[in-house]
Amino acid sequence: MTRQTVFNVITWFFIFLFTYAALAKLTDYSLFRAQISFYPALKYGRDWVPWLLPTVELATAALLVFRCTQAVGIFLSFCLMLVFTIYIAVAMVSGLRLPCSCGGLIQKMSWGQHLVFNFVCLAMASWALFSYPSLPDRPRKHAT
C-alpha cells in the first residue's frame, strides 16, 4: 500500500468514526446530555458541551472530506482523540464511575478496550498528521 492509500484509509476511518459518534449522541441527545452532567470537570459546561461536542465531531469529519481542509481535519482528529484518551485514562485512574458518552457500539467497550482503541486511533492520527506534508498533491483537473 502506498502512503497516500494509507492516509486515505485513515482519513475515511475518522470521517466514519466522528460522524457515527456525533449522530449516536444526537440520536439520543437527552441521554447524552444526562451523561455529560456526571462529569465533574464539566461542572460549568453542562449547558454548552452537549451541543458543542457533536458539532465539533461533524465539523472535523467535514474538514476531512476535502483535500484543502484535510490538514486541519487531521489536526482536529488528533486533538479530539488526545482529549478523549486523557479522559478515559483519568476515569480509569481516579476510579470514578463515569459513563461513556461515545454512543453506539463504541459505548459497549470496557474502559480498557476503549483505551486501547483510542491509543490506536491516536497512533493513526499521529501518522497521518506527520505524513501529510510529504504526500504528493492530487492531480487537479484542468478545464478544457
State pLDDT tens for residues 19-48. Answer: 999 998 898 888 878 877 777 666 676 678
Q: Is residue 141 part of a domain?
A: no
Torsion, Cα 79 120 131 56, to 10 degrees, reads: -30
Q: Is residue 29 part of a domain?
A: yes
How far apart (Å, rounded) are the C-alpha atoms in residues 15 and 17? 6
pTM: 0.85
Q: Is residue 45 part of a domain?
A: yes
Is the per-residue pLDDT at 133 higher than 80?
no
Q: Give the number of domains in the chain.
A: 1
Q: Is residue 144 part of a domain?
A: no
11 is in which domain, residue-wise? 3-134
Q: Is residue 39 part of a domain?
A: yes
Q: Is residue 15 part of a domain?
A: yes
Q: What does the pLDDT read at residue 137?
A: 62
